[in-house]
Structure 1
Amino acid sequence: MCDDWDDNPVVVASPVETPKWCSSQNDEVWGGDPATFINSSRTRTNRGGQGGFQNRDNRWGGGGGGSRGRGGGRQSDRGGERQNWRGEGGRSEKCQELRVPSRYVGKVIGRGGSKIGELQLESGARINVTKESDGDTTLVQLFGSEEAVAKAKQLIEELTTDTIKIGGDPPQPKLEDHGVQQQEEPKEIVDWQSFLKKCEDAEKAEWSKYPEIQKQFYEEHPNVTAMTDEEVEAFREQNNNIVVDRTFKTENSKPIPKPCPEFYYAFHQYPEILEEIKKVGFEKPSPIQAQAWPVLLSGEDLIGIAQTGTGKTLAFLLPALIHIDGQLGRREDRGGPAVLVMAPTRELALQIDKEVKKYQYRGITSICIYGGGSRRDQVKVVTQGVDIVIATPGRLNDLVAAGHLDVRPVTYVVLDEADRMLDMGFEPQIRKIMYAIRPTRQTVMTSATWPPGVRRLADSYMCDPVQVYVGTLDLAATHTVTQVIQLLEDNDDVKMQALMEFARNLSPDEKVIVFCGRKARADELASELVLNGISCQTMHGDRDQSDREQALLDIADGTVQILIATDLASRGLDIDDITHVVNYDFPRNIEEYVHRVGRTGRAGKYGESISYFTRGDWGQAKELISILEEAQQYVPEELHDMAERFEKMKDRREKEGGSRGRGGGRFRGGGGRRW
């Protein structure tokens, strides 16, 4: 097997020296360069071939057999003197055979022979991969000096992970292949209870380094104390049916504080807060504020469930200001913010930040961090020190992971619009942040709905929370909005004509948000309005953050009367003087309808929503009727007919699907699935 040259080699890569092209008559030869094939010419080179792929034999070859050169271990034309592959006559050449696992042969050869060429260059040996294989292993021959062969063997062994057996016999099967069980090492028994206790002790030791959290800042006003249970219930019922309860009631649960019908009753100890409220011009607390303030000032965790535009932001903001000022030690020495507010979208985060800046209380500072804003500027502010951080979960995790923001000093956490954050897939980011904050924090969660995901989040991170919900846990639109349903043909021209007519009849003091289902549709509507001499702005995810902020400023200050938006603006957009909402495209689910409608009729004002409803929206008719009836709105008879027809169509399809049996499918002959 170990002659100087194998009669039927499989692989021999180029020798150590830099290869040159070789050619032989009427053959297509690949020599040296592993990436190129060339057609042979009739010229002959002065040097012999240095390994090539001969198309005629479809094989890797080890030497081209030139007339005078150092030809691959063949006899030269100068006589019978035997030469090795380096063309050095008279020196003995060693041959050694290896068995390489067949699955590694390609790895040894490399793409176009590149790897085997590297091995030869590094070792100085010639490597020949033969066709001899028993299925599991393949025979590889090594030629050269003893040192070169040993080096090549070492390199190949390092390249392959299986044990390589020297000689012609394949490797013996492992013991487990014969069913012989190897002796297992005894498994260590883990005392998980002890391990968990050590973790808890270590966590307590870590958090003990921080000052104790101060939570109690409430002293009940005598007039509130004097309210009887009947008066409390009457107040709650008259104020949009406030319902208060312990979400996860236990035997040790404390009594729930009574509501505060007046601002003074809640903040009589804090005249500066009362002065700031007076500057804003509010006359009395909203229902959720009246009940939430005494709960939060008492240090309780709170779940506030109410529709948009009901004052939830101020409900958690004013207690947060008092909470920050009441903590032990100087604010400059805390090493991080005391209050963290997480919001689902940058628009809502910016809106909360804007609300915070309305109330100047003892030099408390805030920053809004969100994706799309200047990261460098945000890092600069948080590293200098700030009291309140309002953030979207993505950018918040980014700054925390990078070490720019330390959330361990946080003592008051708000998850605003928690249901929307879960809908957007932020639960992992929320959990990661909450894990990094001390467990004795005070936690506030607001939501427009109470789905299982929000309940699960509350169960994980809140301590015996008080749940305050205004109205009903069932989905409902705000009662300060007149809801109008216009039944139109499912035709863009008809809808566009209706929108144009509405826009031309707007009064100078009216403002409108037009909601579309797609970003491209929003741009189309804006173009049509501008071409007809009606100025407007657009807001959707494809616009730069600066453009979106400018659009909000333009609609807020009256530069334009019409804002065309996608559902990006359906939550958290707080512009008090929006008079109308137009649902140009009816939303895909009824929850978004409720949130869109909530963009008007805010802060005690009244508004109007107009929805273009077509045949393509009939799947939403039944739920829409429930919303309209709950708010005591007019329901067109055609909408009832549409809902009935849709339900009949569903029943018919279900029956047809059941009667097809195993044939399944829409057409005869089976096929299974219905589309």
Structure 2
Amino acid sequence: MVAIGQIIHAMKHVEAAIGIIQETSVEMDRAGTAELNGTAAMTNARPSKFLRDLWAKLSVRGHDYFPGSYSQLTFNIFLGRGGSQITDLQTRSSSRIKVTKDTEGDETFIKIFGDDSAIQKAKELIDELTVDKAPRAPPTPVYETPKEPAQSVQEWDSKTTSFYDYLKECDARIEAEWNALPPIIKNFYQEHPEVTAMTEEEVEAFRLENNNIVVDRTFQTENSRPVPKPVKTFEHAFHNYPEILDEIRKAGFEKPSPIQSQCWPVLLSGEDLIGIAQTGTGKTLGFLLPALIHIDGQTVPREERGGPAVLIMAPTRELALQIDKEVKKYFYRNISSVCVYGGGARKEQIDVVSRGVDIVIATPGRMNDLNQAGHLNVRSVTYVVLDEADRMLDMGFEPQIRKVMYSLRPTKQCIMTSATWPPGVRRLADSYMKDPIQIYVGSLDLAATHSVTQTIQLIEENDKEQAFMDFIYNMGPDDKVIVFCGTKAKADYLSVECVCKNIICASLHGNRDQSDREQAVQDIGDGTVRILIATDVASRGLDIDDITHVLNYDFPKNIEEYVHRVGRTGRAGKTGESISYVTKSDWAQAAELVKILEEAQQFVPEEIYSMASRYEAMKERKERAGESVGRKPRFGGGRRY
């Protein structure tokens, strides 16, 4: 079935596929001939491997084709790291080998120079490398998961059937397979009488008062259903689910956050949802509680599903672990969850998944790994969440996301959350969501949370460390701070400086062991330490309610990260303060920073306005001169503000 799906989706996008094949044929696994000093020599290649390699290229381009596990390209194996194989071949054969840019269809040509014996020796060595001799990974333990019976695949007979009729037949067969699965129950919502009684004027007034909630159909059609009205209380949303209400009361919440008040009716009604709001606004609980009801409400008993019902993908390990922690706070019908992520013990994760869970929280890379290896049966997934989709795309996870999404049922319920609404997120929504409802709180423009006081401190680079120490020594007994650094080395340096001065702190960045990272998050959360020094790995995913301060030791390279850093404080209805050290070298972000500060009605230093003006003037000068803005000169110096 995989091979059929591969052919179908490749043909559906044949123009894009042909363009990419032409661009990348040099990198295909030598599925054709090689010109050896003017003499053509055939090499063997399997069509399925060619398709897998094609998928690798198509997925990078963001096209939604078929999923397929692709190994290291044979052609790359022939080249070796940094061309080491070619160097070795030339030495062993006493010849000179040149890889040309000439291609013909799927064929790539090389040339060999030397006497007859050297050429013959080189041909033999190349044949040994390219004729299905790619090194194979060592066998790994197989953890079985229930799978559907394999469907017989009927090969295309070109003499009796047109290829397009064959593709149409295959498409129908795949659709029949999906349709044969038990139906998905999505609608669990019964509108509370008090909500039903709300007039349109009352609904609009409520949305305006609650951070200007805006609700709309992203891709409006004539058959679109009306958007559900918002709820004002937890009882309005979950009056039919007393166990959920009990768990909410135990957590101590007083009323739904703005995005929760609108997204709960939407999700409980079975609609696809795009939720756009800043960090710390309750998006996680917004999709989590409907997920619990969705799991318990399906017709197939949980022990017979063969896999999870809910899949939540998040960009970082920290965010995935934070979501898993939230799931475990709410005890409902013995629903279980597991968090799988790169850097964790893969075998242990496979063991847990194979025993059966209801919710899988995963980073895209590890999720794609387990899916492609067959360790995780995703045919049972009926509710999927892409949390912080904009961040996942920024981190380059779009190919992995698309491969996983292709393996899921077309009729699944799909939720995407994001802090912004860039083109990449819109493209994903268009690909995998059916008539989604878009909810955004505040504005679609980038904005920092208004519960945080933002302070900008103009400073010289050499004065940062003393300013940092002054801040630490003046912290109150109940203060907690996350200090953001631009590099891992800087984070380590500040941590060591604190230790040398008998200041207790924790550090968090990508080079630390996973156990150390988890311990750092736990320590700052439970108050063991009050200072966390981190890189941007902590700018999303850390949900610690009592963080009072964020200190940007190094100003981030893009304004989106600034917004997410600031969002680590002022959470769950509390207030916070952010302090940012800004140097002259940060002038490229000055204009965007001015917009953020003005939107939140914060004080903007005159120096920031001046930096923004100088940078814009510099850009105009360079554009008039035809120079590239931001490119460093190769020689000489010059002052950068």
What is residue 480 of structure 1 aligned with on the other side?
A: 451
CA contact (8 A) 1:104 1:160 kept: no
What is residue 247 of structure 1 aligned with on the other side?
A: 218
Please point out which of 192, 199, 202 is paired with 1:221: 192
Identity, % of aligned pairs? 69
Shift of 1:645: 2.1
Shift of 1:205: 2.0
How far apart are the structure 2 equivalents of 1:302 and 1:156?
59
Work out the number of aligned pairs and report it.
501
What is residue 146 of structure 2 aligned with on the other side?
A: none
**Structure 2 residue 383 is matched with structure 1 residue 412:** yes
Within-5 A mapping of 1:499-514? 499-514=468-483
The C-alpha deviation readout for 1:144-200, integer Å capped at 9, x for no partner, is: xxxxxxxxx9x9999999xxxxxxxxxxxxxxxxxxxxxxxxx98985653443233
Please point out which of 372, 383, 407 is paired with 1:401: 372
How far apart are the structure 2 equivalents of 1:159 and 1:487?
63
With over 3 angstroms needed to count, the CA separation of the structure-2 counterparts of 1:277 and 1:649, relative to structure 1, is same
The C-alpha deviation readout for 1:526-578, integer Å capped at 9, x for no partner, is: 11122222111100001000000000011011111100000001011101110
Please point out which of 383, 386, 392 is paired with 1:421: 392
Shift of 1:616: 0.8
**Structure 2 residue 281 is matched with structure 1 residue 310:** yes
Per the normalisation by structure 2, the TM-score is 0.74
SS at match of 1:357: helix
Q: Name whichever structure is richer in helix by fraction.
A: 2
**Structure 2 residue 488 is matched with structure 1 residue 523:** no
Q: Which has the higher contact order (CA 8 A, sep 6+)?
A: 2
What is residue 123 of structure 1 aligned with on the other side?
A: none
What is residue 335 of structure 2 aligned with on the other side?
A: 364
CA contact (8 A) 1:510 1:578 kept: yes
With over 3 angstroms needed to count, the CA separation of the structure-2 counterparts of 1:157 and 1:231, relative to structure 1, is closer
SS at match of 1:538: strand
CA contact (8 A) 2:491 2:507 kept: yes
The C-alpha deviation readout for 1:49-75, integer Å capped at 9, x for no partner, is: xxxxxxxxxxxxxxxxxxxxxxxxxxx
SS at match of 1:403: coil
CA contact (8 A) 1:581 1:608 kept: yes
Please point out which of 336, 340, 346 is paired with 2:311: 340
The C-alpha deviation readout for 1:484-511, integer Å capped at 9, x for no partner, is: 00111x323x111111011001111110
With over 3 angstroms needed to count, the CA separation of the structure-2 counterparts of 1:188 and 1:636, relative to structure 1, is farther
CA contact (8 A) 1:101 1:138 kept: no
Please point out which of 366, 378, 383 is paired with 2:349: 378
How far apart are the structure 2 equivalents of 1:591 and 1:279?
35
The C-alpha deviation readout for 1:642-661, integer Å capped at 9, x for no partner, is: 22222222223333448xxx
How far apart are the structure 2 equivalents of 1:499 and 1:535?
14
The C-alpha deviation readout for 1:284-320, integer Å capped at 9, x for no partner, is: 0000000000000000000000000000000000000
CA contact (8 A) 1:337 1:409 kept: yes
Please point out which of 567, 576, 585 is paired with 2:536: 567
What is residue 168 of structure 1 aligned with on the other side?
A: none
The C-alpha deviation readout for 1:380-416, integer Å capped at 9, x for no partner, is: 1111110000001111111122221100010000000
**Structure 2 residue 438 is matched with structure 1 residue 467:** yes
What is residue 550 of structure 2 aligned with on the other side?
A: 581
With over 3 angstroms needed to count, the CA separation of the structure-2 counterparts of 1:221 and 1:111, relative to structure 1, is closer
With over 3 angstroms needed to count, the CA separation of the structure-2 counterparts of 1:532 and 1:334, relative to structure 1, is same
What is residue 491 of structure 1 aligned with on the other side?
A: 461
Of the two, which has the highest radius of gyration?
1
CA contact (8 A) 1:306 1:448 kept: yes
Which segments of 5 or more consecutive residues in structure 2 lack a partner in the other structure?
1-35, 42-85, 95-111, 128-157, 636-641
Which segments of 5 or more consecutive residues in structure 1 lack a partner in the other structure?
1-99, 116-134, 141-152, 162-186, 659-664, 669-675
What is residue 272 of structure 2 aligned with on the other side?
A: 301
CA contact (8 A) 1:301 1:442 kept: yes
With over 3 angstroms needed to count, the CA separation of the structure-2 counterparts of 1:160 and 1:473, relative to structure 1, is closer
| Root mean square deviation, CA, Å | 3.0
1:647 partner letter? E
SS at match of 1:450: coil
Per the normalisation by structure 1, the TM-score is 0.70
What is residue 643 of structure 1 aligned with on the other side?
A: 612
Within-5 A mapping of 1:250-261? 250-261=221-232
Structure 1 residue runs of 4+, over 6 Å off?
A: 100-105, 110-115, 135-140, 155-161, 187-190, 665-668
How far apart are the structure 1 equivalents of 2:172 and 2:40?
51
The C-alpha deviation readout for 1:6-58, integer Å capped at 9, x for no partner, is: xxxxxxxxxxxxxxxxxxxxxxxxxxxxxxxxxxxxxxxxxxxxxxxxxxxxx
How far apart are the structure 2 equivalents of 1:160 and 1:396?
36
How far apart are the structure 1 equivalents of 2:596 and 2:296?
43
SS at match of 1:390: strand
2:494 partner letter? L
What is residue 41 of structure 1 aligned with on the other side?
A: none
The C-alpha deviation readout for 1:316-371, integer Å capped at 9, x for no partner, is: 00000000000012100000000000011110000000000000000000000011
How far apart are the structure 1 equivalents of 2:485 and 2:390?
22
With over 3 angstroms needed to count, the CA separation of the structure-2 counterparts of 1:486 and 1:197, relative to structure 1, is same
Please point out which of 154, 178, 182 is paired with 1:211: 182
What is residue 587 of structure 2 aligned with on the other side?
A: 618
